[in-house]
A and B are shown apart, each in its own frame.
Chain A
Amino acid sequence: MSDEDLTFEDSYRDSDEDVEDVEDEDDYVDDDDTDLNFTDVVAEKDRKKNYEVDFIVHSIEGIVKNQDDEVTHVSNILGIQKQHAATLLRHFRWNKERLIERYMEDSTEVLNKAGVITDNARTPKFIKIPGFICDICCDDDEDLDTLALSCGHRFCKNCYEHYLTQKIKEEGESRRILCMASKCNVIVDEKTVELAVNKDIHERYRTLLNRTYVDDNEYLRWCPAPSCEYAIECHVPQTSLTSIVPTVECVCTHRFCFGCGFPDHQPSICVLVKKWIKKCEDDSETANWISAHTKECGKCHSTIEKNGGCNHMTCRKCKYEFCWVCMGPWSEHGTSWYNCNRYDEKTSIDARDQQAKSRASLERYLHYYNRFANHEQSAKLDRELYNKTEKKMEEMQQTSDLSWIEVQFLKKAVDILVQCRMTLKWTYAFAFYLARNNQTDIFEDNQRDLEMAVEQLSELLEKPIEAEKIAELKQQVLDKTVYVGSRREVLLEDTAKGLLESRWEFQVDIKS
């Protein structure tokens, strides 16, 4: 493998060796246990960059094992059965330290509140009791299977099954299913559920429990990619989100923000992203349209829409007549109707100034919005272009001796390009809220450098591909790709550092 073939993805992740380091042997449930297998746990270790965070990707199996470990641990420490330790942990939202601390203080209260009655002599099982009548179905069959939770409330197996199936399947309940008796606070433990329901429902129950394990845990988050089943562990607390943008990458390749679950939005912090998206939803459609198709009447400031090609406008409200092009009063146009040559006349300039002032904030927003939207659009076009190019490359492979490996540089370039466009996109949202100080120049320089590099790479990829010149093109693309990547790093590093050092001032309150 030559240096050139080193993929960019590789340089973003750690080497296989590091991955092995943090991998939990038992987390692994794959047939071929090779180094190349990333499917279970990938960690980013040894980070030096401010814009990167440590994280671990967990498979479902890993999630299950983590829970089991916690349950076993607590069960041993508190000397209670596993199913009860599990109920307690769920009640404490998997905050093991807090559970143990509170349990040591007042175990009775903890057990009461969590709906657990410990009775270590008792294991949940169904038994037949002569003369028993089930209070719920009124069945009194001789060979009725019955079970009582540790509260002593006894019901038949059919009723347990109906009840639990209804709770799990219809109501999506898992960790807080109460005893069937009215006003009884005891939780139906996981062992009892397993005994009472069929295999499918039990599987659903486990899935729901796993879901709550991740949902309840501040340091875990499901990968939001559709139908992806991995969860990410990242120890950046919600309280740090104003100074850090914890960006993680799932093994499915989806990059997203651990803080808010939104797709990769570096360098903008979560709260600005939320504000920006809200603003765009509220404003963009109307604002864009207003800006392109309307002007304000120079007298009464009502919005006037231009319909048709004539420049002679009459305000519907106050009847003021003016010129669409120069905004000046129509009366001064004299005979040069329909052909404005008065753009620099004083009255026209004044009218436009007026217009400019009242629209300044809209214009400012549009300045950032248009650049934001443009990168989003361009990323799509870049992808489309790549798809077209790929087809062409395939054709070329048949007519020349190019190999599949040799044309992969284009794919890597497009991936980087798209990623950089996403970064650039969010720099505009960031910049929109940024208050001017002596630090903003550096930010804008970095932004401009990255933008220029990105456009150059984009242009390079648009060049027609000719078989004879492919080696030359490849070198150019590779060089530019590396450069673009490094510009992105510089920008992200500087903004991340600025956030940590509270170097940036914002026009909005980021603490609210």
Chain B
Amino acid sequence: MATPPLPKRIIKETERLIADAVPGINAKPHEENLRYFDVDITGPEQSPFEGGVFKLELFLPEEYPMSPPKVRFLTKIYHPNIDKLGRICLDILKDKWSPALQIRTVLLSIQALLSAPNPDDPLANDVAQHWKDNEQEAIAKAREWTQTYAERKMSKIGI
């Protein structure tokens, strides 16, 4: 089965992601599958994720950009909008998706989500509850997880 040629849109987006990279975000397509990206997001400063580098996978489905990309955290993270499997609760990845949005905008939104967790729209209920009951303690735990699972040491990254 021959793979269909990559749409112009995806080629352009990929070029720009590499040529004009966003600070703290690194996205590279797999050589054997140009729709599959390895993504690193650096934990934003002054967030409990500071000092960590989080690995994600991003896949552009056949219907992209009519359907949103599929994104998932590979690195364990303690965050009310990200569950155990790394799935992300973000409106633009669901009903608020617009074909005018791009990989870049999606990754920026995820980065923003790390800066501003939203326990009122939770995906991981227990984490969200923790955040609401005792924010101080929840943040401490998120920091601990960042150190344990996302520190810049290569051996610790990934699950």
On A, residues with C-beta under 8 Å from B are: 135-139, 153, 159, 162-163, 166, 170, 178, 180-184
Give 17 A-B contacts (CB < 8 Å), ordered by A residue. A135-B100, A136-B100, A137-B8, A137-B9, A138-B12, A159-B99, A162-B66, A163-B66, A166-B63, A166-B66, A166-B67, A170-B63, A182-B92, A182-B98, A182-B100, A182-B101, A183-B98
B99 CB to nearest A CB, Å: 5
Q: Identify the closest chain B residue to A181 (Cβ).
A: B100
Confirm or deny: B7 has a beta carbon within 8 angstroms of a beta carbon on chain A. Answer: yes
The bracket for how many chain B residues form the interface is: 10 to 19
Which A residues touch B117, using CB under 8 A? none
Given A136-B65, A180-B99, A182-B100, output 19 extra A-B contacts at Cβ < 8 Å: A136-B99, A137-B7, A137-B8, A137-B9, A138-B8, A138-B9, A153-B100, A159-B99, A162-B63, A163-B66, A166-B67, A178-B98, A180-B100, A181-B98, A181-B100, A182-B92, A182-B101, A182-B105, A183-B98
The 9 lowest CB-CB distance pairs between A and B, nearest first, are A182-B98, A166-B66, A138-B8, A138-B9, A182-B100, A136-B99, A138-B12, A181-B100, A182-B101
Q: How far is the CA of A166 from the CA of B61 in the complex (A)?
A: 13
Q: Identify the closest chain B residue to A153 (Cβ).
A: B100
Q: Identify the closest chain B residue to A159 (Cβ).
A: B99
A433 CB to nearest B CB, Å: 39
Contact of B8 (CB < 8 Å), options: A139, A181, A182, A183? A139
Which A residues touch B9, using CB under 8 A? 136-138
Q: How far is the CA of A348 from the CA of B99 in the complex (A)?
A: 80
Q: Identify the closest chain B residue to A184 (Cβ).
A: B98
Q: How far is the CA of A159 from the CA of B67 in the complex (A)?
A: 12
Which B residues touch A163, using CB under 8 A? 66, 99
Q: How far is the CA of A68 from the CA of B101 in the complex (A)?
A: 36
Q: How far is the CA of A138 from the CA of B65 in the complex (A)?
A: 11
Which B residues touch A162, using CB under 8 A? 63, 66
Contact digits for B99-128, partner A, Cβ 8 Å, 1 yes 0 no:
111000100000000000000000000000
B90 CB to nearest A CB, Å: 13
Interface residues of B in 36-83 (CB under 8 A from A): 63, 65-67
Most buried by A among B66, B92, B101, B105: B66
Which B residues touch A182, using CB under 8 A? 92, 98, 100-101, 105
Which B residues touch A180, using CB under 8 A? 98-100
